[in-house]
Structure 1
């Protein structure tokens, strides 16, 4: 395995991220990162892809927020289990990942935890609720058509709200699983920052109708509120990335937006992008948010 120091140095050099002062947070020896594609900070840019801890199908970015945090804290041991498409079920079960002709399986994410783990970050729940998959179904060539609301709201009942509520006990159980395996760990739970703008969106730049853009924005708020409830109930620390992300959604111009829209290309840095996921500016924002939370 490559040394953490070498990997972290590469991440900082690639992103221009400025590490926090060493005195900004307590010291940690063993850091484990868990989560889905927003934790892996998934990328289609093969020059930024890392397979150090996961198979290539996980699309894990070598400069993701967890690696930046590990570099800033100079932890002795670091393992990153985050994988695109992950749900809470993949914390304890193998996750088959087949993407771009890559075959492989990400071992259960909790396998990286030990009794000596003293720092854990987790970002999970979007796939449990099905919100990530729902975004793709909102794409429309006609702004007068709102396929998401038509699909998800039936007889006045919002099924996405139901799925978000159903995901809550699963995320709660994931926190309990971390505590069981790493009882001394400080646990930070991240939420999802704003990716699709409310107030009508920006069709056709992001080809989602104004009605569906507002619906998606509201569902993300619901999802983040659920994560906040879990954090409060379980006593873990919430890293609220949503609160500081206004004005950096996918409707904004390059250099301002922290998440990409439908077009699978980003200028930050130039290259292939995963639609509706953080670009490097968003990744750096996540890292800053975690380090600020650790310093509290």
Structure 2
């Protein structure tokens, strides 16, 4: 049936309204992922320690092809991708050696940082090798650091990122809880130690989220994604003590990167 000119015009208007309501017409106007310049900063949780498949060119930084920044970049094909996260990094290492790729054109930045400043490795070593009393005392020491010293160090990093990339969306990712309480583990740390470690992780995440929000950054909490996949869960996305490769202990597996960190980042990016 042939429409009159007036009817055709009315149909065109109606179609346009439907597209606007459904969002179908907006797809063309939305910026594509290919237009994004993305820089991934941070420590071993961003470099992908524990996930294997390390890029030999990254040396001791141990950047994995299975780390969430690389997985996101592979899936979204940004116009540029710089991966400077490094195993063992503290806040000062980020400002000293990781910010080079940032610039006025940078659209997206991701970062995990703060755990090493708070003495993460020493806390876990103390808890694994020494008494419960020493473990709890070392955790309390770390909590004091997070309360008094870490906020200023995070401020320095976050301010440095904004100074170099004034237009970037910055996503600060947290750390998972390590243990499922009353889980499947037999022996090892006591339940009191496991609970204290989980509480310390929550404490660190809360402090980090506050500093991120004060800088206008988005905090991505990974703890919900790891729920049910903690150590002692029977389906862990975290390594326990790995005596063959001690540096991978208490780091996400490849599944932890793809199933825990990647979705948290993807929803916030």
- Interval containing the TM-score (normalised by the shorter chain): 0.7 to 0.9
Which stretches in structure 2 are left out of the alignment for 5+ residues? 1-28
Match of 1:237 in 2: 218
Match of 1:3 in 2: none
Asked if the contact 2:51/2:67 (under 8 Å) is kept, the reply is: no
Match of 2:47 in 1: 40
Asked if the contact 1:199/1:214 (under 8 Å) is kept, the reply is: no
- Pick from 127, 137, 152 the counterpart of residue 138 of structure 1: 127
- Pick from 209, 215, 223 the counterpart of residue 196 of structure 2: 215
Q: CA 1:25–1:226 in 2, change beyond 3 Å: closer, same or farther? A: farther
CA distance in 2, matches of 1:85, 1:184: 28
Whether 1:73 and 2:62 are equivalent positions in the alignment is no
Question: 1:42 offset after TM fit, Å?
Answer: 0.7
Question: 1:280 offset after TM fit, Å?
Answer: 0.8
Asked if the contact 1:44/1:273 (under 8 Å) is kept, the reply is: no
Match of 1:50 in 2: 55
Q: CA 1:44–1:183 in 2, change beyond 3 Å: closer, same or farther? A: closer
- Pick from 152, 155, 167 the counterpart of residue 172 of structure 1: 155
**Structure with bigger gyration radius:** 2
Whether 1:263 and 2:242 are equivalent positions in the alignment is yes
More helix as a share of residues = 2
Bigger shift: 236-245 or 277-286?
A: 236-245
Q: CA 1:283–1:25 in 2, change beyond 3 Å: closer, same or farther? A: farther
Match of 2:253 in 1: 279
Q: CA 1:200–1:282 in 2, change beyond 3 Å: closer, same or farther? A: closer
CA distance in 2, matches of 1:78, 1:245: 26
Match of 1:289 in 2: 264
CA distance in 1, matches of 2:233, 2:182: 13
Whether 1:160 and 2:142 are equivalent positions in the alignment is yes
Which stretches in structure 1 are left out of the alignment for 5+ residues? 1-22, 94-107, 266-270
CA distance in 2, matches of 1:290, 1:64: 11
Q: CA 1:146–1:238 in 2, change beyond 3 Å: closer, same or farther? A: same
TM-score (norm 2): 0.80
Q: CA 1:199–1:173 in 2, change beyond 3 Å: closer, same or farther? A: farther
Which digits, 9 at most, give the CA deviation of each residue in 1:4-57, with x for residues without a partner?
xxxxxxxxxxxxxxxxxxx99853431100000111111484xx11145x3x11
Asked if the contact 2:44/2:85 (under 8 Å) is kept, the reply is: yes
